[in-house]
Homo-oligomer: A and B are copies of this chain.
Amino acid sequence: MQRNLAMQLTSPKCSGFAVPRPSKSKSSRATTLADVGRAAGVSAMAASAALNGTKTSSRISAATRERILKAAKRLRYRPNAAARALLQRRMHTFGLAAVLYDALEVNHYFLALFNGVLSAATHHDQTTTVFALHNWEEDARERLPGFCDGRIDGLILLAPTCDEETIGLLPSHFPIVTIHGNLDYPGAVNIECDDEHGGFAITEHLISQGHRRILHLAGLKGVRGTECRVKGYRRALQRHKIRFSRSLLHYSDFNQEIARQATLTWFRQNQGQPLPDAIFCGNDGMAVGCMHAVSEMGLRIPDDISVVGFDDTSLSRSSVPQLTTVKQPLVQMGRMAVDLLMRRIDSNQDEVQQVSPIVLPIEVVPRGTVGPRPKQRRLVPSIS
């Protein structure tokens, strides 16, 4: 019991036991400021001043400074990051926490955001530490707080299903930015895109091609992004006087294989009904799964049926034919998350600055999976 508590409290990395100091011999020890000073015949402090170019450096003569710089270069001196961090309370590193399913589409989505995050991090001279969580429930609650132990200065959460309790466990005032957060966490900025408008625009795009019987294969029920897209879908139907049919809204999950199965299931349940003109999928990975299912049933895309996705991840350009989809500016969102986080880290964390959530615009990207509405009405074929 007491043991357990101790385990909980200590950082996971030492598993409750103090790690013995490794016996490194001199040869493998990194060069220190003292080494540089010794080599240049000055104190460590003088070396520090010369190398950092602080105002105190003015007192070091040009000749001495040159000697110091030369020694530092020769010895390949690098200021120790841990020592600096201890002093400055800054690791110049932030964390990126995400649940990385094995599933494709989450990866593609992650990859795009990650590109943005990394490029902005490099720009700010920060490094990025990735925390791969198993889920946003127990695992996040158990491990996330432990990461906020000085190894990172702030945290970006890809938090589609993160709840308020989890956020509450983190140190108060810890700089946090969420992307596609499921809630507006107090004190955290959220970045998302206009999902409702995305659902609206892509549905309207399909309607503009003559489609009227549009199946929406939606993402995971209850997730904010899913519900907003459904809302947009329904608004577009209403706007164009198409009656919403409950049988044309089918919830599934953001996963290629699950979406493939869900498509087959829907077709099985609706045998003999009129074939949908088009299928609007919750994201690109789902659309690819849906395309596989449609193709298995002997239907051609876009001749027999149109299919669209959401996100505009790299998947949409690798499918054959390429996928018509809704572009979320994912790379930009990743960059923005870093910029916002940097601002929060630099600012005084005590002034509670409630920033309103950032909502980015979306854009329909027409590619090859949408065609005109088929002339000939067909029924849903029976599945062997």
- Measured CB to CB, the closest approach of chain B to A51, in angstroms, equals 6
Query: What's the nearest-Cβ distance from chain B to residue A67, in Å?
Result: 11
* Chain B positions within 8 Å of A360 at CB level: none
Chain B residues with CB under 8 A of A12: 125
Q: Are B24 and A89 in contact (CB under 8 A)?
A: yes
Q: Indicate whether A349 reaches chain B with its CB closer than 8 angstroms.
A: yes
Could you say which of A246-254, A311-319, A371-379 contacts chain B?
Answer: A311-319
Contact of A314 among B104, B126, B171 (CB under 8 A): B104
Q: Which residue of B lies closest to A285 (CB)?
A: B318
Proximity bits, A61-81, B CB within 8 Å = 1, else 0: 010011001001100111111
Query: In the bound complex, what is the Cα–Cα distance between A348 and B18 (angstroms)?
Result: 19
Shortest CB–CB separation between residue A317 and chain B, in angstroms? 7
Q: Which residues of chain A from 2 to 30 have a CB within 8 Å of any chain B CB?
A: 2-3, 5-6, 8-19, 21-25, 27-28, 30
Given the known interface contacts A13-B125, A91-B82, A128-B129, the answer about A28 and B317 at a Cβ–Cβ threshold of 8 Å is no
Q: Given contacts A21-B89, A62-B2, A320-B320, are A9 and B54 in contact (CB under 8 A)? A: no
Q: Which of these, B14, B25, B53, B149, contacts A80 with CB under 8 Å?
A: B149
Chain B residues, Cβ within 8 Å of A129: 93, 127-130
A90 within 8 A of B: yes
In the assembly, what is the distance between CA of A8 and CA of B51, in Å?
10
**CB of A159 to closest CB in B, whole Å:** 18
Taken together, the copies of this chain in the complex come to: 2
The 0/1 profile, CB within 8 Å of B marked 1, for residues 288-316 of chain A is 10011001000000000000000000110
Instruction: Tell me which residues across on chain B come within 8 A of A104, comparing CB atoms.
Output: 314, 317-318
Complex: how many Å from CA A81 to CA B84?
12
- A85 CB within 8 Å of chain B: yes
Tell yes or no: A118 within 8 A of B by CB: yes
A14 → chain B closest CB, angstroms? 8
| A173 x B28 contact (CB < 8 A) | yes
- The reply to whether B150 and A81 form a contact with Cβ atoms under 8 Å apart is yes
With a cutoff of 8 Å between Cβ atoms, the chain B residues found around residue A76 in the complex are 145, 171
Inter-chain CA distance A66–B349, complex, in Å, is: 33
Cβ of A141 within 8 Å of any chain B Cβ, yes or no, is no
Residue A350 CB within 8 A of the other chain: yes
From residue A165, how far is it (CB to closest CB) to chain B in Å? 15
Q: Which residues of chain B are near A25, meaning CB under 8 Å?
A: 348, 350
A interface residues, Cβ below 8 angstroms from B? 2-3, 5-6, 8-19, 21-25, 27-28, 30, 50-54, 62, 65-66, 69, 72-73, 76-93, 100, 102, 104, 107, 111, 115, 118-119, 121-122, 125-132, 145-151, 171-173, 256, 285, 288, 291-292, 295, 314-315, 317-322, 348-350
